[in-house]
Structure 1
Amino acid sequence: MNIIFVCTGNTCRSPLAESLAKARIENHSFESRGISAFEGAPISVHSAQLLQQHHLPPAGHARLFTEQDAQADLILTMSESHKYFIQRHFQAANVYTLAEYASHSARSIADPYGGSLADYEQTFTEIRNHIDNLAEKLNDF
Structure 2
Amino acid sequence: MSVQLLFVCTGNTCRSPLAEALSEARGVSAGSAGVSAAAGDGAAPNADRALREARGLSLRSHTPRDVSEADLVAAERVVAMSPAVARRLCDDHDLASDAVVTWAIPDPYGGSLADYRWCLEEISAALDSLLASG
TM-score bin (small chain): 0.7 to 0.9
- Measure the CA separation in 2 of the matches of 1:29 and 1:55: 19
1:109 alignment partner, one of 105, 109, 114: 105
CA RMSD of aligned residues (A): 1.6
Is the CA contact (8 Å cut-off) linking 1:76 and 1:95 kept in structure 2? yes
Q: Which runs of 5+ in 2 are unaligned?
A: none
Which deviations, in whole Å up to 9, do the C-alpha atoms of 1:61-92 show, x marking residues without a partner?
10111121221221101111111111111123
- Measure the CA separation in 2 of the matches of 1:115 and 1:132: 25
Question: How many residues end up aligned between the 2 structures?
Answer: 127
Q: Which runs of 5+ in 1 are unaligned?
A: 100-107
- Measure the CA separation in 2 of the matches of 1:55 and 1:17: 14
Q: TM-score, normalised by structure 2?
A: 0.86
Query: After the TM superposition, which segments of 4 or more aligned residues of structure 1 sit over 2 Å from their partners?
Result: 56-59
Listed as ranges, the matches of 1:75-90 within 5 Å are 75-90=78-93
**Could you tell me which residue of structure 1 aligns to residue 71 of structure 2?**
69
2:15 alignment partner, one of 13, 16, 20: 13
Listed as ranges, the matches of 1:125-140 within 5 Å are 125-138=121-134
**Could you tell me which residue of structure 1 aligns to residue 56 of structure 2?**
55
Which deviations, in whole Å up to 9, do the C-alpha atoms of 1:8-39 show, x marking residues without a partner?
00001111111111112x3x420000000013
- Measure the CA separation in 2 of the matches of 1:123 and 1:19: 13
**Could you tell me which residue of structure 2 aligns to residue 105 of structure 1?**
none
- Measure the CA separation in 2 of the matches of 1:89 and 1:32: 17
Partner AA of 1:62 in structure 2: P
Is the CA contact (8 Å cut-off) linking 2:7 and 2:20 kept in structure 1? yes
Is the CA contact (8 Å cut-off) linking 1:8 and 1:34 kept in structure 2? yes
